[in-house]
């Protein structure tokens, strides 16, 4: 019994001595911790990286670089809620750093907070992410698929344009293009398995880099698809869009088929309106455009189509009202400002026309910068 007590006492003395030594050992300096953190990061020791950078930002809460590596480590560990908090803190330190907004948006995407994610990814795109091309393309891809999900297919198409100029034919891009062409308000992860093959085929047939100078392959693919899926929503529309440049008459027939299958498909109607305008049939265009506005009263392109049709029909005052409505609904679409400027010129309102022309040029220049390629009005 006495032996046992003496043994316990000895152990306690050793523990006390170790504790005293530890207490006397000086704490690591900030620079020493930073050096260890950099080694952990360079060796891909992410858990250790996160622990060390957490200690570092606790010592210096305004150290932006530390919050960046702390947040990216958390992101790599799929600890998205904590990563989001880190990037939110970083954005307060330097609100003009687009990279922090990008990672904030990506964390929110993983947390399925899609509206906040889209808002912050747009902010990142606006501010820029420096020379990090991979991050920029990641931001644009996620913006595109989130816009698809939100039913903002025209904006999504614009963001996919950058990948076209890069000749990107990877499966994720082709899938996003297919979802966009079929106007499906879903994320790739939400796409029903039975729709995947159709989406991929439509994506390849709609995506210029996939065709590599052989547009006849797209026509053959669409012919086969509409024969196999004659009542598939938006398939005839996608086929018509593919035919617009090469065979407008055939494109119009496909749009008419789409309207017959899907009477509320407003974009097919609008495409028919634009084709009627090119044919000089403004009266028929006005009637079709009025139907489009009735179906989708809050859709900017419906009001744009009606405004352009009324202008062609000589009803300038009414045209201005519709084109103003289109700009009000979507002020960041340059084409709407271009068309409104034309209507103002027709009405003799030179100053208003100059203002809208300047706004068209400003937004167009911004889009060219973001997409890496020029865009022209319809």
Q: Would you state the pLDDT for residue 95?
A: 86
Residues 288/313, Cβ–Cβ less than 8 Å = no
SS3 of 335-358: the string is HHHHHHHHHHHHCCCHHHHHHHHH
Q: Is 207 left (phi over 0), alpha (psi -120 to 50) or beta?
A: beta
Q: DSSP assignment, residue 25?
A: S
Kindly report each contact of residues 262-270 with a partner whose C-beta sits within 8 Å and lies 24 or more positions away, as own/partner. Answer: 262/233, 262/234, 264/295, 265/233, 265/234, 265/237, 266/292, 266/295, 266/296, 266/299, 266/302, 267/153, 267/183, 267/237, 267/301, 268/236, 268/237, 268/240, 269/295, 270/301, 270/302, 270/305
Kindly report each contact of residues 356-359 with a partner whose C-beta sits within 8 Å and lies 24 or more positions away, as own/partner. Answer: 356/327, 359/334
Task: Give, to the nearest 10 degrees, the angle between helix 98-110 and helix 133-149.
Answer: 50
Q: Would you state the pLDDT for residue 209?
A: 80
Task: Please give the domain boundaries of the chain with CATH numbers for all domains.
Answer: 30-130 (1.25.40.10), 153-258 (no CATH), 264-378 (1.25.40.10)
Q: What is the pTM for the complete model shown?
A: 0.85
Identify the burial level of 119 via C-beta atoms within 10 angstroms of its C-beta, where 0-12 means exposed, 13-18 middle and 19 or more buried. Answer: middle
Q: Would you state the pLDDT for residue 211?
A: 72
SS3 of 32-77: the string is HHHHHHHHHHHCCCHHHHHHHHHHHHHHCCCCHHHHHHHHHHHHHC
Q: Tokens standing for 324?
A: 């103003």
Q: Would you state the pLDDT for residue 328?
A: 97
Q: Tokens standing for 218?
A: 């797209």
Q: Would you state the pLDDT for residue 322?
A: 98
**In the block, which residue shows the tokens 């050793």?**
14
Residues 266/302, Cβ–Cβ less than 8 Å = yes
Strand, helix or coil for residue 309 = helix
Q: Tokens standing for 206?
A: 């709609």
Q: DSSP assignment, residue 372?
A: S
Cα–Cα distances in angstroms (integers) from residue 15 to residues 9, 21, 26, 141, 295, in the given order: 10, 10, 19, 57, 80
Q: Which of 89, 80, 88 is nearest to 108 (CA)?
A: 80
Contacts of 59 (CB under 8 A, 6+ apart): 30, 33
pLDDT tens, N- to C-terminus, the chain (378 residues): 444 455 544 444 444 445 544 444 567 899 999 999 999 999 999 999 999 999 999 999 999 999 999 999 999 999 999 999 999 999 999 888 899 999 999 999 999 999 999 999 999 999 998 888 899 999 999 999 999 999 999 999 989 988 988 889 999 999 999 999 999 999 999 999 999 999 999 999 999 887 766 788 999 999 999 999 999 999 999 999 999 989 999 999 999 999 999 999 999 999 999 999 999 999 999 999 999 999 999 999 999 999 999 999 999 999 999 999 999 999 999 999 999 999 999 999 999 999 999 999 999 888 776 655 433 333
């Amino acid at each position: 019994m006495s032996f046992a007590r003496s043994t316990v006492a000895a152990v306690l003395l050793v523990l006390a001595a170790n504790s005293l030594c530890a207490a006397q050992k000086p704490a690591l300096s900030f620079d020493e911790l930073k050096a260890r953190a950099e080694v952990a990061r360079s060796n891909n020791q992410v858990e250790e990286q996160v622990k060390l950078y957490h200690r570092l930002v606790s010592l210096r809460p305004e150290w932006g670089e530390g919050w960046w590596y702390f947040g990216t480590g958390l992101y790599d560990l799929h600890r998205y809620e904590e990563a989001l908090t880190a990037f939110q803190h970083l954005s307060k330190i330097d609100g003009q750093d687009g990279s922090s907004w990008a990672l904030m948006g990506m964390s929110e995407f993983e947390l399925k907070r899609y509206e906040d994610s889209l808002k912050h990814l747009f902010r990142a795109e606006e501010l820029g992410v420096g020379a990090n091309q991979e991050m920029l393309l990641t931001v644009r891809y996620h913006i595109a698929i989130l816009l698809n999900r939100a039913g903002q297919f025209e904006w999504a198409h614009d963001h996919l344009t950058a990948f076209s100029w890069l000749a990107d034919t990877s499966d994720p891009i082709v899938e996003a293009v297919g979802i966009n062409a079929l106007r499906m308000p879903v994320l790739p992860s939400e796409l029903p398995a039975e729709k995947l093959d159709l989406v991929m085929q439509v994506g390849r047939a709609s995506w210029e880099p996939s065709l590599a100078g052989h547009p006849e392959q797209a026509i053959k693919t669409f012919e086969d698809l509409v024969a196999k899926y004659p009542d598939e929503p938006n398939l005839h529309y996608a086929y018509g869009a593919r035919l617009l440049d090469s065979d407008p008459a055939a494109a119009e027939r496909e749009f008419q088929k789409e309207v017959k299958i899907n009477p509320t498909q407003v974009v097919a109607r609008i495409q028919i309106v634009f084709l009627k305008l090119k044919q000089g049939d403004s009266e028929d265009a006005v009637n079709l455009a009025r139907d489009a506005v009735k179906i989708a009263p809050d859709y900017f392109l419906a009001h744009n189509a009606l405004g352009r049709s009324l202008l062609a029909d000589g009803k300038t005052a009414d045209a201005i009202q519709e084109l103003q409505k289109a700009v009000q609904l979507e002020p960041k679409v340059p084409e709407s400002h271009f068309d409104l400027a034309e209507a103002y010129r027709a009405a003799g309102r030179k100053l208003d026309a100059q203002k809208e022309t300047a706004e068209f040029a400003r937004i167009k220049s911004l889009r060219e910068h973001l997409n890496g390629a020029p865009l022209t009005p319809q």
